[in-house]
Amino acid sequence: MLDWTDRHCRYFHRLLSKETLLYTEMVTTGAIIHGKGDYLAYSEQEHPLALQLGGSDPAALAHCAKLAEQRGYDEINLNVGCPSDRVQNGMFGACLMGQAALVADCIKAMRDAVSIPVTVKTRIGIDDQDSYAFLCDFIDTVSGRGECEMFIIHARKAWLSGLSPKENREVPPLDYPRVYQLKRDFPALTIAINGGVKSLAEAQQHLQHVDGVMMGREAYQNPGILAQVDRELFGSQAAVRNSVEVVEALYPYIERELANGTYLGHITRHILGLFQGIPGARQWRRHLSENAHKAGADVRVVEQALSLVRQPRSEVA
């Protein structure tokens, strides 16, 4: 998720779940090739990790996919679902749904360049091109000509004009049955569903029909939900860390990052929702929000915020 799932967020989420496949925020090929920063940076602890790319030039995508594979990423994902204006102006994201042949060429170029999986995240349609036949034609072209074997389907169409990115995540109605039908019609493909999933119980229901579930906003806003994923969805018998233990496990990372010049607020913005529904959660959020941006803010700010969470540690989950 653009501007959300950065490397600090992913490190934190990995403390909650060992099994979940984490995705980077979308990174454009132009940023990777021409940018001054290291847009492929991540911590080894984040694995398994997929790099989500934005772009429409097969050669540039293949080059970036190769760089990512060399850096150790576990999967490359092409974003064909983001509807924002700046994405459309760069000729990538959801507008590419209208150019299935080009998407297929992009996927094939990346598949020829790397040995790790190359996947597509897309919508069920765009603008008035929202029939099931249109979706099937897109999947058929990209899986056939492009040899793509896995699709993550956001079960909403995207309006390329007239709606903001936020509205595009909420206004177009969800159509889960259409994604279920897609799996029935393309049984050889791996199909994961995305959009509006708010609980692990809902994820379990979807898994009766498709192969995987991607959870975005809910996992970010209520990250504690990830603590149960390994046990509930992957059958892990490992002990579940409670939320206090997760925060304490984050301390060494915070100290390392601060020593390297990272601002505390760049890390703590991702952990604000951890104690949802627990006494002291509001004070936790307020203390971090008011103090993490201050000059010299360090791990003590987080320790002080944690002391405001009043529930006994043995009961925090």
pLDDT 10s digits, 97-109? 999 999 999 999 9
- Per the annotation, does 169 bind a ligand? no
Tell me the average pLDDT across 232-250. Answer: 94
Nearest partner of 195 among 103, 276, 124, judged by Cα = 124
pLDDT band, residue 252 (cuts 50/70/90): very high
Residue 315: its pLDDT value, please? 43
Nearest partner of 64 among 14, 13, 106, 11, judged by Cα = 106
Residue 167: its pLDDT value, please? 80
Residue 198: its pLDDT value, please? 95
The most confident of the ranges 27-31, 238-242, 312-316 is: 27-31
Residue 199: its pLDDT value, please? 96
- Per the annotation, does 81 bind a ligand? no
Element (H, E) at 192: strand 190-194
- Per the annotation, does 125 bind a ligand? no
- Per the annotation, does 13 bind a ligand? no
Query: pLDDT averaged over the chain?
Result: 93
- Per the annotation, does 216 bind a ligand? yes
More confident residue, 48 or 82: 48
Tell me the average pLDDT across 67-72. Answer: 98
Residue 203 has pLDDT above 90, yes or no: yes
Q: Where are the alpha helices (DSSP H) in the chain?
A: 7-16, 29-34, 58-71, 85-89, 100-113, 132-144, 165-168, 176-185, 200-206, 217-221, 229-234, 243-259, 264-268, 281-291, 299-306
Tell me the average pLDDT across 280-306. Answer: 97
More confident residue, 306 or 317: 306
pLDDT 10s digits, 6-63? 999 999 999 999 999 999 999 999 999 999 989 999 999 999 999 999 999 999 999 9
Tell me the average pLDDT across 202-227. Answer: 96
Residue 132: its pLDDT value, please? 98
- Per the annotation, does 304 bind a ligand? no
pLDDT 10s digits, 154-191? 999 988 877 777 787 777 899 999 999 999 999 999 99
Question: β-strand 22-23 against 75-80: which pairing, if any?
Answer: unpaired
More confident residue, 265 or 37: 265
Decide if 88 contacts 56 (C-beta within 8 A).
no
- Per the annotation, does 194 bind a ligand? yes
Residue 214 has pLDDT above 70, yes or no: yes
Residue 1 has pLDDT above 90, yes or no: no
Residues involved in catalysis: 82
Residue 313 has pLDDT above 70, yes or no: no
- Per the annotation, does 217 bind a ligand? yes
Nearest partner of 194 among 213, 174, 217, judged by Cα = 213
Question: In whole angstroms, what is the distance from residue 93 CA to residue 123 CA?
Answer: 10
Tell me the average pLDDT across 241-261. Answer: 96
Residue 88: its pLDDT value, please? 54
Q: In Å, what is the CA distance from 59 to each residue of 63, 144, 277?
A: 6, 19, 48
